[in-house]
Structure 1
Amino acid sequence: MNAGWPLTGRDVELRSVVDTVLGDAHRGVLIAGNAGVGKTRLAREAATDLAARGWAVRRVAGTSAGRAIVMGPFARWTTSAGTSRSAQLAEVVNGLKSEAGGAPLLVVADDVQWLDELSALVLHQLVVHELANVILTLRSGESASDTVFAMWKDDHLFRLDLRPLIRPESDRLVQRALTGRVPADFLDRVWRLTAGNALFLRHLVEQEQTSQRLTADGDAWRWVSGPVATPSLVDLVKLQIGDVPTELRDVVDLVAVAEPIEWSCLSTLVESELVEAAAERGLIEVTPDGAIIRAGHPLYTEVRWEECGPVRLRKLRGVVVKAMLAQRTGRPADPLRLGTLWLDSDLDPDPDVFAAAAQCACARLDLASAERLARAALAADPNDDARMLLAYVLHLSGDGLEVEALLSNVETSYPTTGFVNAATLRAANRLWVLREPVEARDIVERALGNSQGDISHVLRVFHAFQEAMAGQPAAARRDVEASDLSRLDPFGQVMGRCAETLAAGDMGHVRDASASAAAGYAVIEQAPQDSIHELGLAELHAHAQLLAGYLDAAAATADLHYVRCADVPGLTRAMALAMVGATALGCGELPRALHHLDAGGAEADDSDINGTFYRFRVTHVETLARAGRVRAAVALLDSTTAGRHAAYEYVDPAYQLARAWVAAARGRIDEARNICCRAAELARERGQWAREVLCLQTAVQFGFTAAEERLTALTGLVEGPRAQLATRYAAALAAADGVALDASSVEYELMGDRLVAADAAAQAAATHRHAGRRGSALTANSRAQQLARQCGGADSPALHSSRITLPLTQREHEIALLVAAGMTNREIATATSLSVRTVEGHVFRATVKAGVSGRSELSALISADNP
């Protein structure tokens, strides 16, 4: 940890304080804010800045204990004890001015709410008579001397109300105070407990370090959760909130065990006057409409939990549960809050309450609470329903072996029409957790063969999802069409829409994909408990739009659902970040793509379940390669390959494209072309025609000239502008038509894909140059480089080629780049599938054309032309 904590998130406020002191409009600043918000630190930083500018700075502070001592804060400047007030006042003022020695005087007074009247008058006289400037700090909600308030009310001082840090500022402060990557769950914990209070934040971080729960591990930090309310933190919080009467502690304790709690519930347990008094003290907070009550600060709750003890807490929770059930508000109690309170109370267990709470926790992706509640439900009543519920929770958590054990005790004829049943859950566990897609398909197909009625529709929809995940979109769509989704529960309906959206998008039927996604959103709107699947549906929808070439629509879809999920910690936020990153890549916004994919990947490292994030790591690899970050791309490709998930076969073409971009970034362009062509063939065999278009388009970017015929055929199968643009692009490259390549570049830019636009312009420049059209070549190259800069520094073989002014053929250029990369002729031969003799011939011809004498000079020339 750094020796001194940085001042973070206060740049604007610091400038405001300093500028006000230096200006003529006011004689200083009154900084007001809650305890621990950072008033003293801001005042200190401003004073340090002004001292460096030649100001004489003097500091005083009020204290609650010293308020009764007249002139206590200014004792060092007065020796006239027992003399008149005016004499003491004059002595202090003269002493301060004398010490300044002619320099402008700044007096910094901390906690002015605790100044005695005469000390406040010293500050007033300094300000009114323009003898000094002041910076005062005042705790909000506290009463200060009328003299202090007069300085602000009479406009001598500018008042700055200092707010707590917001979440990004809190994260940034912790990141800057610690060296290395900080776990996302620790940042979440810090934010949840401190709510932007800088004093609490610093104390909590240092406490976790001292306790060895937060430890450095290379360039990262490791954190193990533990108790928060240590004696030192309890003392700090109690110091901040002061003495609390017993009757108010009862209010705080009830809120602490049940927050957020409705006013209608709390008012049945304590007198409303006590609630109001606690709110005035800042011990609790009431929403503007007066309906909901929370603790005044998260750490107040932690402290009260520590001081109440387990017996009192259990009793209080039981009291709150009974009050919640007795309410007649017309609205049922929140199932998760009710079940959690009940489980930790002194009431007898209720399996139905625990089961409802566990289901609610699953919908909110609070899997730790869901497992605890589901286990409680099973312990209270060990039946098949409870076993299924716990198995489902453990499936989401990735505990595949225990899921299998639980399901082995469920009756094979388990009667259910819900989407989650013994067959689908066992298949899902085999597919995602145990990574056995063949066995998963066998389970569903055997069940289908023995089913009829509503359950057959359930199984067919699950089978459709399996087919879509396996990259068999036509089969998936047939399964959905053969199912009656109206006979499924909302969960099943949304899963059916997910399968249909994925399959239609892969086939290039973007209108069907969008219609299916819209139908899925409508189901979720009516059944918010199934909103767990909304982000996945949005991801599939956005990708269908990307494949088709509707890039603005894809970005809008991703951004909309990111806003809804950005505040949900863990895998949900990681996926929302990555979805935005993927659409940003499609639009050629490399810095934005990397920012979101880096952030999503970091969060997924701590929260990924069942390899769900694998598909986003594929996109991340491609983004790194296209941004020229070759080492990072290679490293991530290696780890992604090692973690390839058998369930996500539909992304195989995308995985191959990521490999191709890494190969291209390493100068192995022939290998990159071959990978793209094989990926296109794989997509063609599966009927993933929209993905095939993208694979062929990428091959054209790598110089492949035989894609036009197949792309022409695909324009009759795939909707959207991409297929038609890719066909014209391939035709232009095959014909070496520089003018047509220029036109393709413009078309891609208008579509929103600036990365392809840059490559097409670069290829146009090379084509014009070979044809002797120097002016056209310069224009096209200038456009290519400008587009690459707009993308945030795009890198590609085409862009490299456009920079080289030597009259090299495409193959000579590729091999020259590999020479510049330091590869031997034998290594180049292996990378390009050529013989060593053929490579030697290309190297020789390149050196002759370049007018250099050997490999080293050719390498230097190529490297200089491709910085």
Structure 2
Amino acid sequence: MGPMWPLVQRQVEFDAITASLTARSGGCGVVLTGDPGVGKTTLARFATDALPGEVKWVAGTESARSIPLGVFAHLVGASTSRDPVAFLSAARQALLDDGRSRDLVVGVDDAHLLDQLSATFLHQLALDRAVHIVATVRNGETVPDAITSLWKDGHLLRLELAPFSREQSIELIESVLDGPLEGLSADMIWEASGGNALFVRHLVEGALEAGTLRRSGGVWQLRGRAAISSELASLLEHRIDQIPADVLQALQLLTFCEPLDLDTLGQVAGEDAVEEAERRGLVRIVEDGHRLDVRYTHPLFGEVIRRRVGRAAGRRLRGRLVEALSSRAVIGPSNRIRLAELALDSDRSVDPGLLVTAAEDAIGLANVPLGERLARAALDETGGFEAADLLARALLWQGHATEAEALLQSFSPDSLDQVQLVRWGTSRIANLFWASGKSEKADEVLAVLREKVTHPSLVPIIEGIGSVCAVFENRPEEAAAAATAILAADRVLPWAVEWAFFGGGLSLALMGRGGCVPELAARSAAVADQIDGLLRFPAGHGEILALTLTGSFDAAQRRADEYLSLASTGRYVAWGLANILVGTVELARGRFTDAAGRLEQAIAALNVGDTADAISWSFPAYVALGQAYAELGRIHEADGIITEAQARNGRHVAVFGPQLMMSQAWLAAARGETSRAVALSRSAAESACTAGQFGIEAVALHLVTRFGDTTTAARLAELAGICDGQLVDIIARHAAAVATGDGCGVASVAAEFETIGALPDAADAYARAAIAFSRAGDKRRSIECAAAAEALSARCDHMSSPALVEAAHPLPLTSREREVGSMVAAGLSNRQIADRLFVSVRTVEGHIYRACMKLDVADRSGLAESMGTTVR
């Protein structure tokens, strides 16, 4: 039994229908028009069920179309008269003889299938306003004139029912699946269904049945082509069966190669067939630059047609397309990929050189599953290193590190020339370091390359990937120096530029020199089409960090969105990596719910392959998600994801160690363990400082300030002179104002945070200002700042922090008494509190006693209630 499908409320249309069916003047009803499956009948019946009066339904069918007044037979009874006028009169009397005609609603489903007499009868009822009418008519069908005149003459309101929006489709699917649907999968289902309610339902049920729609990490993902249920296929095949043979063949050719330029399809299938397909609304002609392309009007027709083509026929049809496409110049990656993919499954021979080139093209366009398929075919044909290297690169990006390593190890470095050696070595390093987490072995391969590669144009590639290894192993200064030297040279090869951008961009951002990174990003953009397409996404992490750490949040958002737009439909790894970049910006701007959802989906999308736990490029998502959960007060989930991050930690991601400690600090703060949150933040700052990550050190010390410490101002003033951008300068002035209890100064800095878009920082700053004013006895300003803090907290999805809690619940407690009270409210025992604070149980009891005395409560329960906070 399939899942239960609820009705998606279309309130505007529902209100229009019910109003037209209860009106006492003007028209007497409504005609719903729309494509098959768009939900006309469902909505019409739902609306009539809400009416107090009687509703009588009829339905037009092909079989009843030849019977005069056939669809109304069960309502009006049989007649012996053969005179149409007498027949209609008798029918009218039978339908309306109870004297309550004005309250009667007649519903007509598929009114375009009514016989002429039934259509005339319905028209007369509307003309006389004898009843209210709701009818449905399918777009693209021949409709009797009597029905058409119902809305043309103003008797009935015509309401075109549009397909679901993307948001409505997602709402419907998620309500059925009882869980979040991955954004990329939602796009695929929505585009395949065209928002058609019936198609959405059958696509989801077909994908569930086929196992291509499944849950991963709590997120539903569609992997592979959209599956079509047998019921939906039969519905669509009925329409396909009416298509002439030559038109069907044109559609069969198109299903193997969509889109296809108009001239090529006309050459292979015949121009008349293509024109007839367009006239029937089966295909559409769209402009693509100077070319006209043919596409299916609805993608599901292509899927059904594909299913009907046998293997032998498919090989023959693809062969015809290969022959036609090969007769013209094959220019550009997309054309080479298309030709190679067609040739693989055709009855024509395949050029191994084309397979190799097309595989490289596919990997360059981030379509690694297709790159893998083409590279495997090329390797089967040639057995050569070029094909093997391409296959290894496709595998490592998909997390299949074991197979990739075995493939590369089958070639001895001594048997390769220097160009091949560089490709062999960089692929192995990438696979060992970022797909497997084996940084020591990757360093060994790097040493081999440095020993054997001597050509001046190739050495920068080795040093470029070496800079990335260095920064991930938390040696950012070394990485930045190597990258800067590479990019300062003339005529640097694309791979050297990209590796240098990856290592240099991330290291400079972390070091607080984010102002240098946009120039590196511009160099990378100039060679982006000459390297693996997926590499640009983890390499872009440094660019996004540089923009956020300098306070350029709007620019960071724009760049992250641009990266996301590059991750086109069906490229799951690219989509996951791009969402890490967008999630990083959303987190900095306080869009915690959006960031959490996006990062959850990124982790699920990247949780692939035989070494998914070790994939380094997904590690930042775990760290950021832990912080997002903690700031939302989702403590259990934060604890779980941070534990997962710790299990994946190691030398291969050592650079993210300080950021992981900051996520742990946020978790401690969410638990009410403020002193531990401060200690963890300080440890993060010290670790970052030791490594030269001065930008991260500034953020960590800012966190110390946000958690209530007043001793960070001096070091932050130093860092403001070291780090680029306005953010660290604002952070330093914030710390100075907090240290002196300057409420006006803190409030001024809060406004600056708000202006640049750092809303969580602004919320905490306003809360600190409220606390400062309260201590100074300025109640009015304290209330104003507390209100501003609360308003910003609401804009940040009701984030939680120690400052916000204290500002919202001003109590006559010391910071340690407040911390102990918060832990009591969280349900911790005295022993647990003592263990977490590294004090004795007697000391905890003393804090609780003094807090109870100050708040005039009798016991722990009263203290917990007075704290006004609970763990969510």
The two structures have a TM-score, normalised by structure 2, of 0.91
C-alpha distance in 2, partners of 1:132/1:606? 61
Q: CA deviation at 1:521?
A: 2.6
Partner SS, residue 454 of structure 1: coil
C-alpha distance in 2, partners of 1:213/1:477? 44
Partner SS, residue 483 of structure 1: helix
CA contact (8 A) 2:250 2:273 kept: yes
- Partner in structure 2 of residue 13 of structure 1: 13
**2:428 aligned partner, one-letter code:** R
Match of 2:473 among 447, 466, 470: 470
Partner SS, residue 827 of structure 2: coil
- Partner in structure 1 of residue 53 of structure 2: 55
Q: After alignment, is 249-258 or 596-605 more displaced?
A: 596-605
CA contact (8 A) 2:664 2:680 kept: yes
Unaligned 5+ residue runs, structure 1?
A: none
CA contact (8 A) 1:754 1:791 kept: yes
Aligned residues: 862
1:828 maps to 2:830: no
How has the CA–CA distance of structure 1 residues 56 and 268 changed in structure 2, closer, same or farther, with 3 Å as cutoff? same
- Partner in structure 2 of residue 194 of structure 1: 193
C-alpha distance in 2, partners of 1:28/1:652? 67
- Partner in structure 2 of residue 104 of structure 1: 103
1:571 maps to 2:569: no
**2:202 aligned partner, one-letter code:** H
C-alpha distance in 2, partners of 1:699/1:404? 44
- Partner in structure 2 of residue 547 of structure 1: 549
CA contact (8 A) 1:486 1:493 kept: no
C-alpha distance in 2, partners of 1:851/1:241? 80
How has the CA–CA distance of structure 1 residues 292 and 496 changed in structure 2, closer, same or farther, with 3 Å as cutoff? same
Q: After alignment, is 737-746 or 341-350 more displaced?
A: 737-746
CA contact (8 A) 2:203 2:229 kept: no
C-alpha distance in 2, partners of 1:865/1:62? 60
**1:724 aligned partner, one-letter code:** D
- Partner in structure 1 of residue 88 of structure 2: 89
- Partner in structure 2 of residue 161 of structure 1: 160
CA contact (8 A) 1:391 1:403 kept: yes
C-alpha distance in 2, partners of 1:346/1:112? 49
CA contact (8 A) 1:69 1:116 kept: yes
Q: CA deviation at 1:168?
A: 3.4
**1:461 aligned partner, one-letter code:** G
1:115 maps to 2:114: yes
1:64 maps to 2:62: yes
CA contact (8 A) 1:431 1:647 kept: yes
**2:476 aligned partner, one-letter code:** P
Q: After alignment, is 57-66 or 192-201 more displaced?
A: 192-201
How has the CA–CA distance of structure 1 residues 572 and 214 changed in structure 2, closer, same or farther, with 3 Å as cutoff? closer
**1:87 aligned partner, one-letter code:** A
**1:505 aligned partner, one-letter code:** A
Partner SS, residue 819 of structure 2: helix
Partner SS, residue 842 of structure 1: helix
C-alpha distance in 1, partners of 2:40/2:490? 59
Q: CA deviation at 1:271?
A: 2.0
How has the CA–CA distance of structure 1 residues 800 and 201 changed in structure 2, closer, same or farther, with 3 Å as cutoff? closer
**1:393 aligned partner, one-letter code:** A
Partner SS, residue 334 of structure 1: helix
Q: After alignment, is 330-339 or 548-557 more displaced?
A: 330-339
How has the CA–CA distance of structure 1 residues 209 and 118 changed in structure 2, closer, same or farther, with 3 Å as cutoff? same
Q: After alignment, is 738-747 or 345-354 more displaced?
A: 738-747
- Partner in structure 1 of residue 511 of structure 2: 507
- Partner in structure 2 of residue 460 of structure 1: 463
- Partner in structure 2 of residue 705 of structure 1: 710
1:561 maps to 2:559: no
C-alpha distance in 2, partners of 1:448/1:217? 41
Deviations 1:692-733 (A, max 9, x none): 100000011112222122111111210112222222222222
Partner SS, residue 421 of structure 1: helix
**1:545 aligned partner, one-letter code:** L
- Partner in structure 2 of residue 277 of structure 1: 276
CA contact (8 A) 2:366 2:533 kept: no
Q: CA deviation at 1:653?
A: 1.4
* CA RMSD across the alignment: 3.1
**2:477 aligned partner, one-letter code:** A
- Partner in structure 1 of residue 29 of structure 2: 28
How has the CA–CA distance of structure 1 residues 769 and 195 changed in structure 2, closer, same or farther, with 3 Å as cutoff? closer
CA contact (8 A) 2:746 2:765 kept: yes
Match of 1:858 among 851, 857, 863: 863
Match of 1:659 among 642, 664, 680: 664
CA contact (8 A) 2:166 2:187 kept: no
**2:479 aligned partner, one-letter code:** A
Q: CA deviation at 1:668?
A: 1.1
**2:142 aligned partner, one-letter code:** S
**1:311 aligned partner, one-letter code:** A
Q: CA deviation at 1:768?
A: 3.4
C-alpha distance in 2, partners of 1:332/1:579? 27
Q: CA deviation at 1:30?
A: 2.7
How has the CA–CA distance of structure 1 residues 439 and 25 changed in structure 2, closer, same or farther, with 3 Å as cutoff? farther
Q: After alignment, is 722-731 or 413-422 more displaced?
A: 413-422
Q: After alignment, is 387-396 or 604-613 more displaced?
A: 604-613
- Partner in structure 2 of residue 375 of structure 1: 376
C-alpha distance in 2, partners of 1:541/1:592? 21
C-alpha distance in 2, partners of 1:182/1:842? 47
- Partner in structure 2 of residue 792 of structure 1: 797
How has the CA–CA distance of structure 1 residues 459 and 604 changed in structure 2, closer, same or farther, with 3 Å as cutoff? closer
1:613 maps to 2:618: yes
**2:843 aligned partner, one-letter code:** T
How has the CA–CA distance of structure 1 residues 228 and 601 changed in structure 2, closer, same or farther, with 3 Å as cutoff? closer
C-alpha distance in 1, partners of 2:228/2:786? 63
Q: CA deviation at 1:200?
A: 3.0
How has the CA–CA distance of structure 1 residues 212 and 747 changed in structure 2, closer, same or farther, with 3 Å as cutoff? closer
| Percent of aligned pairs with the same amino acid | 31
C-alpha distance in 2, partners of 1:701/1:227? 48
C-alpha distance in 1, partners of 2:836/2:852? 20
Query: What does 1:95-244 correspond to in 2, within 5 Å?
Result: 95-98=94-97, 101-181=100-180, 187=186, 190-191=189-190, 193-207=192-206, 228=227, 232-244=231-243
C-alpha distance in 2, partners of 1:489/1:786? 51
CA contact (8 A) 2:486 2:492 kept: no
C-alpha distance in 1, partners of 2:825/2:226? 57
How has the CA–CA distance of structure 1 residues 93 and 645 changed in structure 2, closer, same or farther, with 3 Å as cutoff? farther
The two structures have a TM-score, normalised by structure 1, of 0.92
- Partner in structure 2 of residue 480 of structure 1: 483
C-alpha distance in 1, partners of 2:221/2:720? 52
Deviations 1:525-554 (A, max 9, x none): xx3775434444444322211112222322
Partner SS, residue 449 of structure 2: helix
C-alpha distance in 2, partners of 1:662/1:123? 68
Deviations 1:119-145 (A, max 9, x none): 111121122222223222222222121
C-alpha distance in 2, partners of 1:706/1:163? 61
Partner SS, residue 29 of structure 1: strand
CA contact (8 A) 2:418 2:453 kept: no
How has the CA–CA distance of structure 1 residues 680 and 105 changed in structure 2, closer, same or farther, with 3 Å as cutoff? same
- Partner in structure 1 of residue 364 of structure 2: 363
Q: CA deviation at 1:344?
A: 0.7
Q: CA deviation at 1:672?
A: 0.9
- Partner in structure 1 of residue 47 of structure 2: 46
Q: CA deviation at 1:257?
A: 2.0
C-alpha distance in 2, partners of 1:109/1:241? 26
C-alpha distance in 1, partners of 2:135/2:39? 13
How has the CA–CA distance of structure 1 residues 734 and 533 changed in structure 2, closer, same or farther, with 3 Å as cutoff? same
**2:5 aligned partner, one-letter code:** W
CA contact (8 A) 1:728 1:744 kept: yes
CA contact (8 A) 2:550 2:725 kept: yes
C-alpha distance in 2, partners of 1:227/1:330? 30
How has the CA–CA distance of structure 1 residues 695 and 340 changed in structure 2, closer, same or farther, with 3 Å as cutoff? same
C-alpha distance in 1, partners of 2:40/2:201? 14
C-alpha distance in 2, partners of 1:490/1:656? 36
Q: After alignment, is 213-222 or 718-727 more displaced?
A: 213-222
C-alpha distance in 1, partners of 2:162/2:734? 55
Q: CA deviation at 1:460?
A: 0.9
Q: CA deviation at 1:793?
A: 1.0
